[in-house]
Structure 1
Amino acid sequence: MNNLWKKIKVGNMELPHRLAMAPMTRGRALYDGSPSDLSVEYYKQRASMGLLISEGTQPSEDGQGYLNTPGIYNENHIKGWKKITQRVHDEGGYFFIQLMHVGRMSHPDNTPHHRQAVAPSAIAPGVEMFTAEGMKEIPVPRELSTEDIKNVIKEHREAAAAAIKAGADGVEIHGANGYLIHQFIGENSNQRKDEYGGTIENHARFAIEVTKAIVEEIGPEKTGFRISPNVPLGGIDEGKQGPDVYRYLVKELDKLNLAYLHILHGGNEELLSDIRSIWSNTLLVNRGGRPLEDISVDIDNDLADIAPIGTWTIANPDFVARLKNGAQLTEPDRNTFYAGGEKGYIDYPFLKS
């Protein structure tokens, strides 16, 4: 694992190693979408991960899908995130806020306005979502008009500016996991007949336009992008042209000189190899479920530059120290992943010095 401990420059950041904290929904935000004081402690505890990518953060009211997820579109949100970024910076870490518009992956019961969700096409994902009243089927969303799409792009731009105002080192655009951008990429979720659907280029258009707007607002060195090829979350089927949509998308994003590309790897090794050859800047590759001893394999084989870590960092705020020292890892309590207060959030133990 020697390669894990080599320093790397990413955008404006000088990272001390090749690990990063992956974005993970934790459901601890206040009702208005402001991060809680618990979140200040949670992220501060994990600052040794170097680059911390926040949980999915909605850029607008329509962007929210789950209960108690944070936002970054008003002054209260900015004040809440500023506490977090200051503490992470004080501990020597860097912080990117992930902008996550869920699109159709929402339920009116979970949002502040209780409106119908929005999506590329009026097609329900065919899955259930947790609400305060239990699991419910996700209803059919409203199809975005071309004017609506322009407004959503504007919301992303403004949210990125708000993230920088809150002290973040940058933003990660969430183009993965069945959410809005991924819904434009998907074949079964995007049945549009206009310039945002049909062809390979059109399926990638929304992702590219969002990214260009954010780059124009805050700069490419403060912008990352996440994809999840071949990952069928949220009822997404990318279809036969899916791999080619990603090849085209990555090629176009590469022209923008972003800080990094972040892949949640879905098992298509040929596509991963192709993306590595297309992408010029830092590549983060997250393989869920890999054994601890395989963390550095993609870096060792020059398929990645950084290995983002998810679940292990929930239960091990000092994951870097434990890995370096060969110390035993604490097992996470999955019952507390998405709900509750301190328990399962900021009460996991550190190694004794």
Structure 2
Amino acid sequence: MPTLYDSFDLSGIHLDNRLVMAPLTRNRATPGNKPNALTVEYYRQRATAGLIITEATQISPMGQGYIDTPGIYSADQIEAWGSVSDAVHAAGGKLFMQLWHVGRISHTSLLPDGASPVSSTDRKPNAMTFAAEGFVEVSAPRALRDDEMPGLIDDYRKAARNAIDAGCDGVEIHSANNYLLEQFLRDSVNDRSGPYGGSIENRTRLVVEIMQTVCREVGANRVGIRLSPMTTFNDTPRDSDPQALYTYLVEQLKPLGIAYVHVVEGETGGAREPEDAARPFDYNALKAAFGGCWMVNNGYSKEMAGSAIAQGSADLIAIGRPFISNPDLVRRFEEGAELNQLQEDKLYGGGAAGYTDYPTL
């Protein structure tokens, strides 16, 4: 039976093991929304992960939702991310960049010329974001027009090309945690008519068109996607029929031959089987509908991860916070070593403390 520590062929990309560092927002970008020398060191330290997925990185100035998060739309950002990918590769690792547009989870102070956030809807969620003055309520969004969709799709295409030009091995399209793309997917948010609203086919159209475009630009073997069928994160109710919605979506993605689907099981950072769900979600059925490489995430311990790999319910395991506090998490898991304690008060913003100063064995 396969183990966590076996190598894995990810669409022609060799991974040394099956442990993936999940994307983790850290709010430490420098002016111009660029990675810095600390970012380079942070990812270099964790390069023993089979694959690193970077923190969510906005595709355009309009995609930003939190202060000091990095982008991938300017020449300076491409150059800065190049230093990160060079360091990860020099340490023997692999790196996919997560491409992000937050949609309605933003604030006018973070957007160009004080613009309103954009979404599938003009309804404002009861959610908070992190701006210069600290945590603030998100601003009221405006609904994107249908004629704005080609430009949005092209922003994803350009961002994917920029990530590859910066030396990344691939990209992950962030379609989870109720940011922009999931705001189109769910009928609990998407109240529009026309080609991008109403039926499941229409609500998935934007995600499918983005994936098709990005695959054409950089190659399907370099493209993954993250989904979160059951989370209510960011004050977003579940879809009325999540099993049907996400099954249809992965069936549309299957012919593209993408590198993987990455699924957050249950509530993001919370219960793996939410008690308030109308009915349980069948992740195994979703995996079967996709048929390709399957990455899972949310609260996996070493034992749970090993069992999932051995039983074939997952090909890769994405682990978040333990990778923050344990740069050498793969070794600690393999040797049964004690884990460092996470400094939760240093997760977002700041400098080296709680970022690059965690000890290794």
Q: Secondary structure at the match of 1:314?
A: helix
**2:121 aligns to what SS in structure 1?**
coil
Q: Give the deviation of 1:301 after TM superposition.
A: 2.3
Q: For 2:191 and 2:102, how far apart are their aligned partners in 1?
A: 18
TM alignment of 1:1-353, pairs within 5 A: 3-266=3-266, 267=273, 270-288=281-299, 290-351=300-361
Q: Distance in 1 between matches of 2:246 and 2:109?
A: 34
> Could you tell me how far apart the structure 2 residues matched to 1:89 and 1:80 are?
15
How far apart, in 1, do the equivalents of 2:111 and 2:88 lie? 29
SS in 2 for 1:295: helix
Offset of residue 188 of structure 1: 2.2
User: Following TM superposition, by how much is the alpha carbon of 1:295 offset from its aligned partner in structure 2, in angstroms?
Assistant: 2.0
> What is the letter of the counterpart of residue 8 of structure 1?
F
CA distance in 1, matches of 2:33, 2:240: 38
Structure 1 letter corresponding to 2:158: E
2:328 maps to a residue whose letter is D
Q: Distance in 2 between matches of 1:234 and 1:185?
A: 15
Normalised to the residue count of structure 1, the TM-score between the two structures is 0.96
Aligned equivalents of 1:156, 1:223: Cα separation in 2: 12
- Which structure 2 segments of 5+ residues have no match? 267-272, 274-278
Write the deviation string for residues 250-271 of structure 1: whole angstroms up to 9, x where unpaired: 0011110001110011137652
Contact 1:8/1:18 (8 A) holds in 2 = yes
Residue identity in the other structure for 2:125: P
Cα distance in 1, alignment partners of residues 281 and 129 from structure 2: 33
User: Could you tell me how far 1:165 is from its partner in structure 2?
Assistant: 0.5
8 Å CA contact 1:59, 1:159 repeated in 2:
yes
Gaps of 5+ in 1: none
CA distance in 1 between counterparts of 2:350 and 2:94 reads: 26
Matches of 1:307 and 1:218, distance apart in 2 = 24
- Equivalent residue of 1:3, what SS? coil
Distance 2:128 2:17 in 1: 39
After superposition, what is the alpha-carbon deviation per residue over 1:85-134, rounded to whole angstroms, capped at 9, x for unaligned?
Answer: 00100111010000010000111223354311100110111112222223
Q: Name the aligned partner's letter for residue 332 of structure 2.
A: R
268-277 vs 23-32, which moves further: 268-277
SS at match of 1:273: helix
- How well do the aligned residues superpose, as a CA RMSD in angstroms? 1.4
Distance 1:269 1:346 in 2: 39
Q: Is the CA contact 2:243–2:281 (under 8 Å) kept in the aligned structure 1?
A: no
Retained in 2: the 8 A contact 1:185–1:238?
Answer: no
C-alpha offsets along residues 312-335 of structure 1, whole Å, 9 cap, x if unaligned? 000000001111111110011011
Q: With the length of structure 2 as denominator, give the TM-score of the two structures.
A: 0.94
Query: Partners in 2 of 1:142 and 1:54 — Cα distance?
Result: 29
Distance 2:291 2:113 in 1: 42
Whether the aligned pair in 2 keeps the contact of 1:50 and 1:92 (CA below 8 Å) is: no
Which digits, 9 at most, give the CA deviation of each residue in 1:326-349, with x for residues without a partner?
111001101110110000000000
Question: What is the one-letter code of the residue matched to 1:56?
Answer: A
Using the TM superposition, give the Cα deviation of residue 297 of structure 1 relative to its aligned residue in structure 2, in angstroms. Answer: 2.4
Does the 8 A contact of 2:230 with 2:281 survive in 1?
no
Contact 1:129 1:135 in 2 (8 A): yes
In the TM superposition, structure 1's runs of 4+ consecutive aligned residues that sit over 4 Å from their partners are none
Distance in structure 1 (CA, Å) of the matches to 2:112 and 2:143: 20
Aligned residues of 1:12 and 1:222 also touching (Cα < 8 A):
no
Q: Could you tell me whether the CA contact under 8 Å between 1:61 and 1:113 is conserved in 2? A: no
Contact kept in structure 2, 1:67 and 1:111, CA below 8 Å: no
Q: Give distance in 1, aligned partners of 2:60 and 2:281.
A: 36
What is the identity, as a one-letter code, of the residue corresponding to 1:280?
G
What SS does structure 2 have at the residue aligned with 1:189?
Answer: coil
Q: Counterparts of 1:258 and 1:163 in 2: how far apart (Å)?
A: 17
